[in-house]
Structure 1
């Protein structure tokens, strides 16, 4: 079992003890009133109260090279200190759940992968919040329960080494990689179960599963870590990778690496989300930070560092193609089925 799902089981096992009766329920209720305020003086009241709080704590899986400058931009604009803790998405969830189980509410905002945000939502650690910038997001950016919001996107695209492969050699559809000429030239990331599940659902179960069984028979080079796989493409060790994030290829390309990417269909997108904590110790600062990230300014920051902003107010060629989104709820609810198939096809073969 991978670490993401071990964390999910931990969360389920501790659900009953996370919210024992006590004073924290009153704190949560007070915070929710703050999060949902829509008055005309909202921004003024929010900034004034946030400055009195003076600081906020952010847990995120966004790379420190990007999350630190984002936090600094917020600090410079509002004079409010951001205490940043960065780790992998599973550890972000684990820390938040463990602290809540112990009655310690230290974090104000969480920003990480959509499925992990959904875990926190199901554990009732997040609160519904309003922001004027949500209007700039696509309708799919907010789950029906409203407990987190998509702030950026990751797209699984095909990356290739430009010294070894020409763009016009690449197929338009993933099925084109079943051509024998790709034998020994393609790679996959070892944990991309969501990518497979989404394509099978998009293609239909019979057709989709048949494609992946044929792909497995091609014996692609399976490597763990999207950045590692991207760097291997740049080094020429894997000429073509079928599941890398286009933002990471953009980063390597900016550094002069011989890499490029193509949105081979169907492109699968995965939401990255932001949420405010139900028991945040600095709720005004938490909401102000969420506002900042979702604002045009915050979304332009993501774009400037090669990340893909969710907001439709920012124009970018990083998402200028048809795509289908991963459903975080499905990732959790149907995990055993899809993980079992992926493991059979690509891991234990």
Structure 2
């Protein structure tokens, strides 16, 4: 074999080895992708999301931090003041927080292709965030302590003597969904602060955590709790002695948005998780966890139709809530604490 042919063969082998090396290096880099989600969803929901996401994207490691919206916001504020937010994606229950994020220029615009069929009303105009699920609140009642003809149908029913000292609600300083509900009641001329004062007079107690009010109603500590629909459905499916009723009017409906942090160190992995959550696959995981998906073509069994619920919705002025939040919480604490 001539020297030229030998040299060409060696170069060919080196090129092949280098190509293989580059391929392995690229694969290794892909395997090292990572994404962190901060959320107020239940641990079981996030664990199911992570399982489905990492099955679809085995080269991406997903981690999450879960707590009530108030605690998530405190963690974000602390990290922001310290020079860097560790989260890549935020997914909490109070949509007004995203107005604040937007004002603070904390979010990265992203128009997910997975959201092409989602109505624009669920998306920020600048595509800095979009709703990823719908949460509704209603009345969680103990089926052993509340007879069928006693099941509350209206907010005024909670003021009845038979429920005195056996009522509960999550503390709105820790729960974004309850905060939104309280804001709707306070802003409504039908209820206002007078209604909340009457709830206090009828013995309503506060709990720390949206699951606590449901679990304690199931245990018989409360006859009725103002609670989240999907949490009630979860324990009902497990055989707990609770039922759930939507108010005949003024249903609290909360859009729970997702957003990518502007200074994320993992933008590609963050986009993949964002896409997955909005996709039919991700929304199907929410359905299995008894959660209302944002996709209007996907229906949750035994849940109220979204259009019917919207016609009975408790209105909330988000801008007013952002403006008045601190004053509102201070007044709330003065009544209940």
TM-score by length of structure 2 reads 0.77
After the TM superposition, which residues 7-18 of structure 1 pair with which residues of structure 2 at under 5 Å, given as runs? Answer: none
Tell me what 2:181 maps to.
Answer: 195
Cα-to-partner distance string for 1:31-79 (whole Å, 9 max, x where unaligned)? xxxxxxxxxxxxxxxxx9x958733232323233221221221121123
Verify the 8 A CA contact 2:88 2:260 in the aligned structure 1.
yes
Structure 2 unaligned spans of 5+: 1-26, 173-177
Would the aligned equivalents of 1:186 and 1:240 in 2 still touch at CA under 8 Å?
A: yes
Which residue number corresponds to residue 285 of structure 2?
A: 301
For residue 126 of structure 1, report the CA deviation from its aligned partner: 0.8
Aligned to 1:31: none
1:191-211 CA-partner distances (Å, limit 9, x unpaired) = 23431221233x32x653333
| Equivalent residue in structure 2 for 1:148, among 129, 144, 147 | 129
Q: CA 1:78–1:207 in structure 2 vs 1: closer, same or farther (change >3 Å)?
A: closer
Q: CA separation of 1:139/1:110 partners in 2, compared to 1, >3 Å: closer, same or farther?
A: same
RMSD, aligned α-carbons: 2.7
Q: How far off its partner does 1:188 sit? A: 2.5
Q: Within 1, Cα distance between the matches of 2:125 and 2:87? A: 24
Work out which of the two has the higher radius of gyration on C-alpha atoms and give 1 or 2: 2
How far is 1:96 from its partner? 4.0
Q: Is the 8 A contact 2:166 2:203 kept in 1?
A: no
Which has the higher mean CA deviation after the structures are superposed, 95-104 or 251-260? 95-104
Distance verdict in 2 for CA 1:134–1:178, change over 3 Å: same
Aligned to 1:246: 229
2:37, 2:90 within 8 Å by CA — same for their partners in 1?
A: yes
Q: Which residue of 2 aligns with 1:313?
A: 297
C-alpha distance in 1, partners of 2:240/2:277?
A: 30
Aligned with residue 149 of structure 2, among 151, 164, 168: 168
Moved more, 250-259 or 143-152: 143-152
Is contact 1:107–1:281 with CA below 8 Å preserved after alignment? Answer: no
> Is 1:82 aligned to residue 61 of structure 2?
yes
- 1:323 is matched with which residue? 313
Structure 1: gaps (5+ residues): 1-47
User: Among residues 323, 328, 331, which one is paired with 1:341 in the alignment?
Assistant: 331
State the Cα deviation string for residues 14-41 of structure 1 (Å, max 9, x = none). Answer: xxxxxxxxxxxxxxxxxxxxxxxxxxxx
Aligned to 1:92: 72
CA displacement 1:62-106 (0-9 Å, x = unmatched): 233221221221121123323313132344344444445455464
User: Contact 1:296–1:313 (CA<8 Å) still a contact in 2?
Assistant: no
Partner of 1:128: 109
Aligned length: 296
Give 1:287 deviation, angstroms.
Answer: 1.3
Residue 109 of structure 1: aligned partner:
89
